[in-house]
Amino acid sequence: MRTLYDIQQVLKRFGIFVYLGQRLYDIELMEIEFKKLYEAGLIEDKLFKSGILVLKREHRLEEERQNKEEM
């Protein structure tokens, strides 16, 4: 897992499509759904850990981008 697109593809395999209209909210909801899949035992530990790292990175980058736009 390297990109947010990879996360979306995993979620899509389980019929989960996320679009709230704001990228930051999309990332947050994807993280919630990804955790639920892991807790249900539907994805393996290695996939979960790498996916969470991607989501955290994307969330941080999006927050930085939004803060830069506000200035």
Mean pLDDT (whole number) for 15-23: 97
Please, are residues 51 and 57 in contact by the beta-carbon 8 Å criterion? no
| Average pLDDT over all residues of the chain | 97
- SS3 category, 2: coil
Enclosing H/E stretch for 61: helix 45-70
pLDDT reading at 24 higher than 90: yes
pLDDT value of position 1: 87
Q: State the Cα–Cα distance between residues 20 and 7, nearest whole angstrom.
A: 16
Assign a CATH topology to domain 4-70. Helix Hairpins (1.10.287)
Q: Which one, of 34, 41, 46, lies nearest residue 8 by Cα?
A: 34
Prediction pTM value: 0.94
Q: State the Cα–Cα distance between residues 6 and 11, nearest whole angstrom.
A: 9
pLDDT band at residue 64 using 50, 70 and 90 as cut-offs: very high
Domain boundaries defined on the chain: 4-70
pLDDT value of position 71: 80
